[in-house]
Structure 1
Amino acid sequence: MKYSCRILWMALLLSQMIFSQDGFESAFEDENNISANLGATTIGDQTFIGMRVQPEFSFGKFGLGLDIPLLFNASNGEMRTEEFNNGVGVLRMVRYLSYGKKKKDPVYVKLGDMTGEQLGYGAMLGNYSNSVSFERRKVGLSADVTFKEIIGLEAIYSDLNFNGSQKLFAIRPYYRPFGQTSIPIVKTIEFGLSYASDKDDYEQSSVGGTIPSTKFTREGNSAFGFDVGAILLQNSLLRLTWDMQYTKLNKNEALANDIKTNPGNYNINASYDSGSGFATGLEAQFRFVANIFHVNARIERQWYENNYIPQFFNFAYEINKDNRLMELIGAEKSQGIYGKLGSEILSIVKVEGELLLPDNLTDSNRGAIVGLNLQTKEIGKFRARGKYLKAQLNDLGDAFKLDQRSLANLLVTYRLNRFMETGVDYQWTFAEKEDGSFRALHQVRPYIGVSIKF
């Protein structure tokens, strides 16, 4: 028996040592290019002519992406400046500035667009974006620092606009008690403690005065949670990770008081209090030789208590924080599944899909979330890149119908020569109305421009 255990122990140790190098790098990372696309676009009922200069660079561990809009009104020739109003202004031209890779390097820092960020394993904050509107495109900060492979700190701040009060802030210290050992599986065990808080008091200026757009968050909105996870297996072909998460959404006192004060605005049979959820899942990454075929899959079982929504802080939260909080009213105890599947083929095509689906969706007052991501390198002379997200789904038949619950972007290009390309850029995003709320906004922008890769 002792001999058998010794053989098993040596086999596990050998698999960790031989394949210690991470072979799961994406072929779509660390690309350098400069693009400047000239074309026309319609925003609302106005037509603009101009370009967006979008260089993207990678220097070792450093990454830089810019988005410089130069759009002029076709009717009066005035430059469109709405994207620079409020908040951090021209700093919005920095799409991202980063150092390191999250969960791979001991130091990771990113400034700018927080699209795709998550905290820990993602039960509290996942599928997040701080850039749901051109007019209020935010510059956020994300960081993940590990000390001596034992203690770490992960943090996200949504908006470096320091006017007013604190915006969404999330922090997760974590601890790997055996991080410096060479014991397989055991050395990867990680315990995390998460906390998120938002006191956003943003107000929209209009002709009639100032209109609050964050009625419930301004007095404070918060959540906390804890998690544990470990890498169960890692070699040159497969990496398998397990995790378990608990999250509690604290009762929002401003919302609770509004329900008492204005009961006619709500379903009087619905209850509201703090809510919690529990989830456990497995994530697997599979790589065929030389990254010919690369698959990432996650399956997660979730249990929801009353007044709880998994991934509460996601892209829908930034579209309308008050509406997101009101979704918690009457949310009943239930269960669900979160699944994610992605593949990278021949380092040319990358496709990802994900679905957060409550049990018995048609009979539930909870919504599903669906997401798609497509990215290709040049196939012939064509290239495509697109993202799609939709939340609050009560009918999967509406999953791909664009409305107030959707975010979408699709870019298709055709290379004319070494330095020039033409294409169509489609955006479904949000713009702000005079009353401070958001309206869905779509833009179709055919263009021709410079595109240089190096």
Structure 2
Amino acid sequence: MKKTVILLLAITLLTSAYSQRRVQREPIQQKPQTTGEFSGGIGLSWFDGKPYYLLNISPEIAFGKIGVGLDVNLRIGVNDGKIRNEDWNEPYDFLRAIRYVRYGLKGEPLYARLGALDYARLGHGTIVYYYKNNASYDDRKVGLEFDVDFGKFGFESVISDLKKVGVFGVRGYVRPLKFTPAGNIPIIGSIELGATYATDLDKSAIAHYDPVKREIVQDWERPDVIGFDIGLPIVKTKIFGWDVYFDYVKFLNYGSGIAYGSNFEFRGLGLLNIGAKIERRNFGDQFLPSYFNYFYEVERFNLRDTVNATSKLQNLKLAKKTAGTYGELIFTILGQLQILGSYQQLDATPESGTLHLDLEFPQVLPTIVFDAGYDRRNIKNFGDAFRLDERSLLYAEVGYKPVKYIVISMLYQWTFKPIRVGDQTKYEVQKRVEPRVSFVFPFGGK
């Protein structure tokens, strides 16, 4: 099964894209439309080898700038006829059934999102980039993103968990020349200065195994991070966008680093949109870029092997001075087919590759449904890029529409299951397989 999924992902890489329902980041934006769908389905789920009947209700609606998505799943044990306890064992689970509520889109003057944070970011992403607050279905949190741009100044913010805060980050920025007549000067008038602060208030962030005491202790300094950035838009038209930037980042109790690069956007009249980012990174000792990223909830603390366990903070403390390159490329064809890929490689560390893929293939073929996303860290070489183990995250759903409102599909997820060990959280690989028959009824729009 593992090899089949990997082959499927590789074949569809050049012709598919990750579902917008799973990816909030849309760097080449289209205006929101009055649209939505009411979907649900029946199927089977397997958790830890146990089969469950599945009843799913997952309506989504976008009305102007407002979007709402639910994800209600009733899983009934095939063997005992009982509802899966982990899905509804505390009041917070009922709030988590609301997958998200949002206003606007990232990059607009006012943007807010409550619920699942799929790929949150602040600024150029040197501190918070592609952060996911949900490591798995059983570890869903209700987070918040809230951004306001007043034109001359503004801020971005992210909170991973409204129940116990966890990851918290805020970036304020100002366009100083906008307060003067020089603000009308092309290029220079839009220069932007920003400052960021981010941390993790969850005590798991400072936990590590003490081989002397032979127990888990929390005696390290919290990962408090500050950053300063400057951005300069070179070209900003309806068709072309090009800007350059420079970031300085410092962990208050650890090391520092810099990143500088450029973003490019091309909007080809709805036919072909291209986004590209290239960034050079230089780090001192005890520094990791994009510290709060899509693997953070899993990496924060891992107890798979207690004696040899390494937490994210421990990896930070052990990090050596290095440099590397980061690249990102996005294609959108006819407003439908979207491919996003990014990769980072450190110069002096062969096993440092980090791959991220988002694939979206919504309506290119009317009878085919395909959504997929893939992340992998610590890649050794090209042959190591597409394997499923503790360094991977995968979501893939392939389906067929025999008639307009019915979808027959297979869902496969490779994520991590949270397990409590004392007052800490352990993560183990969780494979989720669900054959589904879904009913999708679009409404609104044209």
Alignment TM-score, normalising by the size of structure 1: 0.81
Q: 1:199 aligns with which of 198, 201, 219?
A: 201
Q: Distance in 1 between matches of 2:216 and 2:37?
A: 39
- Give SS of 2:136's match: coil
The whole-number CA distance in structure 1 between the counterparts of 2:35 and 2:391 is: 32
Q: For structure 1, which segment, 318-327 or 121-130, has the greater mean C-alpha deviation from structure 2 after superposition? A: 318-327
Question: Letter of the aligned partner of 2:134 in structure 1?
Answer: S
Tell me: CA distance 1:387–1:186, structure 2 relative to 1, closer, same or farther (3 Å).
Answer: same
Aligned 1:283-294 pairs, distance under 5 A: 283-288=263-268, 290-294=269-273
Q: Displacement, 1:215? A: 5.0
How far, CA to CA, are the matches of 2:217 and 2:55 in structure 1? 37
Which of 45, 50, 53 matches 1:49?
53
**Residue 76 of structure 2 is aligned with which of 72, 75, 95?**
72
Match of 1:119 in 2: 122
SS at match of 1:77: coil
**Residue 237 of structure 2 corresponds to which residue in structure 1?**
235
1:89 CA drift (Å): 2.4
Q: What is the CA distance between 1:449 and its match in structure 2? A: 1.7
**What amino acid is the match of 1:424?**
M
Query: C-alpha distance in 1, partners of 2:152/2:186?
Result: 15
| Equivalent position of 1:353 in the other structure | 341
Structure 2 CA distance for aligned equivalents of residues 28 and 406 of structure 1: 32
Q: What's the offset of the Cα at 1:314?
A: 0.8
Does structure 1 conserve the Cα–Cα contact (< 8 Å) formed by 2:223 and 2:313?
Answer: no
CA RMSD of aligned residues (A): 2.3
Letter of the 1:445 counterpart: E
Q: How many residues are aligned here?
A: 392
Is contact 1:199-1:218 (8 Å) kept? no
- Equivalent residue number for residue 339 of structure 1: 327
Quote how far apart the aligned CAs of 1:320 are: 3.1
Q: Deviations over 1:270-321 (max 9, x none)?
A: xxxx111100111111122x21111111000110111111111112221131
Question: 1:201·1:214 contact (CA, 8 Å) conserved in 2?
Answer: no
Do the aligned residues in 2 keep the contact of 1:84 with 1:135 (CA within 8 Å)?
Answer: no
User: Which one of 351, 355, 365 corresponds to residue 370 of structure 1?
Assistant: 355
Tell me which of 392, 399, 407 is aligned to 1:421.
Answer: 407
Q: Is the 8 A contact 1:86 1:136 kept in 2?
A: no
**Cα distance in structure 1, aligned partners of 2:117 and 2:415:** 15
* CA contact 1:307–1:330 (8 Å) conserved in 2: yes
Q: Name 2:143's counterpart in structure 1.
A: 140
Shift of 1:237: 2.1
Instruction: Give the superposition deviation at 1:377.
Output: 2.0
**Match of residue 445 from structure 1:** 434
Query: Residue 257 of structure 2 aligns with which residue?
Result: 277
Q: Secondary structure, in 3 states, of the residue corresponding to 2:318?
A: coil
CA–CA distance in 1 between the matches of 2:410 and 2:369?
A: 11
Given that residues 356 and 375 in structure 2 are in contact (C-alpha distance below 8 angstroms), is that contact kept between their aligned partners in structure 1?
Answer: yes
Question: Do the aligned partners of 1:83 and 1:136 also contact (CA within 8 Å) in 2?
Answer: no
Structure 2, unaligned runs of 5 or more: 1-26, 206-214, 302-310
Displacement after TM superposition at 1:385 (Å)? 1.1
User: Identity of counterpart residues, as a percentage?
Assistant: 30
1:178 aligns to what SS in structure 2?
Answer: helix
How far apart are residue 218 of structure 1 and its match?
8.6
Q: Secondary structure at the match of 2:245?
A: strand
Question: What is the Cα deviation at residue 161 of structure 1?
Answer: 0.9
Q: Which residue number in structure 2 is paired with residue 430 of structure 1?
A: 416
TM superposition shift of 1:29: 7.7
Which runs of structure 2 are paired with 1:196-275 in the superposition (5 Å)? 196-201=198-203, 215-216=217-218, 220-251=222-253, 274-275=254-255
Shift of 1:391: 1.9
In 1: Cα distance, 2:293 partner to 2:63 partner: 30
Distance in 2 (CA, whole Å) between partners of 1:342 and 1:102 is 16
